[in-house]
Amino acid sequence: MEVVTSTSSNSMSIKHFLKSKGFDEQSIDKMLTKCKHLENAQTDVASQNWDYLTNTVGIQDRKLPYIVSRCPKILTLRLHERLVPMFECLSSLGRNPREVTSAITKFPPILAHSLEEKLCPLLAFFQALGVPESHLGKILLFNPRLISYGIETKLAVIVSFLASLGLDKDSGVIGQVLVKHPFLMGYSVEKRLRPTTEFLKSCVGLSDDGVVSVFVNHPQVVCRDVGKILRPNYEYLKECGFGDAQIASMVAGYPPVLIKSVGNSLRPRIRFLVDVMGRGLDEVAGYPQFFQHGLKKKVESRYKVVKKSDVDCSLRDMLDCNNKKFHEKFGVLRV
């Protein structure tokens, strides 16, 4: 039995209970509309579950009303048949209790899903893709909404799409991608992943292998909207004077250049490169990792050292090393 209800109307009792927990009439009505079982829920069960969420799960008193309002069904479930087994299973996946509490706060319905019908099949699905057992918790607790997706209707569709691009299902590479960016599985193939793939190929000019490399090493890039993020960044690079081949080379070498903020990242770095350092765009085209380095903490500070030392060096020589090697290379010792 999934929920616990009384045979007679218990709406007044559950309303009094919710009011005692700080909910107003409007919030209670919304919760009753969202969860049809809540109206007949037994107050002793609701109280027991509330205490469990606070004392055992570790949800703060100030956050619990928000969690319950998002998933009022939590108050109707059998504690020892549903909540306790699910929480204990999630706890076994996390490295510390705060990870589990954070996941529940981000997506409260995770507690209302079936352990046997949803969570176990989901974990088995990820393991079949090559996700190590030690990383299952990272995927699910980082993106707990995954438990709400249908395996066959959504997750398997995405896996098939990735396989069609050249990511081998049997090699474990898809599992590696999921560990790196669990939110990938939440996007639509037709509305997001396919359009970004086509953009990288047809507009940017990446090869099939180049696109696969983006998925494997920087999956967050293919999850961004073409019209709002990728294309504006691409057009900005063209406005700066980069040629088509240079942009393709930059994206292949450092894909996040397409999702960096133009105003806060790309423009300030290019201005500093050209106006202050006096270097050409061809240098950053050959070393696109330039955009990953902090402007003030690394680029500006190292430029000052290089300028003071009156040494001629490439961007790669200046930036592609740790502080110790940099100061050894340019003859500057740090105390």
In a domain, 239, yes or no: yes
In a domain, 297, yes or no: no
Q: Are residues 1 and 102 in the same domain?
A: yes
Greatest mean pLDDT range, 8-17, 270-279, 322-331: 270-279
Band of residue 311 on the pLDDT scale cut at 50, 70, 90:
confident
Q: Are residues 36 and 64 in the same domain?
A: yes
Q: Are residues 198 and 277 in the same domain?
A: yes
In a domain, 42, yes or no: yes
Q: Given a cut of 60, is residue 23 above it in pLDDT?
A: yes
In a domain, 312, yes or no: yes
pLDDT at 300: 94
Q: Are residues 214 and 307 in the same domain?
A: no
Query: Total domain count for the chain?
Result: 4
Q: Given a cut of 50, is residue 335 above it in pLDDT?
A: no
Q: Are residues 98 and 28 in the same domain?
A: yes
Q: Are residues 182 and 193 in the same domain?
A: no
pLDDT at 130: 93
Domain boundary among 64, 95, 112: 112
Q: Given a cut of 60, is residue 9 above it in pLDDT?
A: no
Which pTM value belongs to this model?
A: 0.86
Q: Are residues 103 and 4 in the same domain?
A: yes
Domain boundary among 153, 186, 219: 186
Q: Given a cut of 70, is residue 244 above it in pLDDT?
A: yes
Q: Are residues 263 and 234 in the same domain?
A: yes
For position 103, which CATH number holds?
A: 1.25.70.10
Q: Are residues 142 and 99 in the same domain?
A: no
Q: Given a cut of 80, is residue 101 above it in pLDDT?
A: yes
Task: Give the pLDDT confidence of 171-228 residue by residue, as tens digits.
Answer: 999 999 999 999 999 999 999 999 999 999 999 999 999 999 999 999 999 999 999 9
Q: Are residues 27 and 75 in the same domain?
A: yes
Q: Are residues 8 and 108 in the same domain?
A: yes
In a domain, 298, yes or no: no
Task: Give the pLDDT confidence of 119-139 residue by residue, as tens digits.
Answer: 999 999 999 999 999 899 999
The 3-state secondary structure of the chain, one letter per residue = CCECECCCCCHHHHHHHHHHCCCCHHHHHHHHHHCCCHHHECHHHHHHHHHHHHHCCCCCCCCHHHHHHHCHHHHHECHHHHHHHHHHHHHHHCCCHHHHHHHHHHCHHHHHCCHHHHHHHHHHHHHHCCCCHHHHHHHHHHCHHHHHCCHHHHHHHHHHHHHHHCCCCCCCHHHHHHHHCHHHHHCCHHHHHHHHHHHHHHHHCCCHHHHHHHHHHCHHHHCCCHHHHHHHHHHHHHHHCCCHHHHHHHHHHCHHHHCCCHHHHHHHHHHHHHHHCCCCHHHHHHCHHHHHCCHHHHHHHHHHHHHHHCCCCCHHHHHCCCHHHHHHHCCCCCC
Q: Given a cut of 70, is residue 4 above it in pLDDT?
A: no
pLDDT at 246: 96
Mean pLDDT, the chain, whole residue set: 92
In a domain, 82, yes or no: yes
pLDDT at 181: 96
Instruction: List the domain range (segments joined by +) for residue 317.
Output: 303-335
Q: Are residues 33 and 88 in the same domain?
A: yes
In a domain, 16, yes or no: yes
Choose the weakest-confidence range: 24-33, 141-150, 312-321.
312-321
In a domain, 258, yes or no: yes
Domain boundary among 64, 90, 112: 112
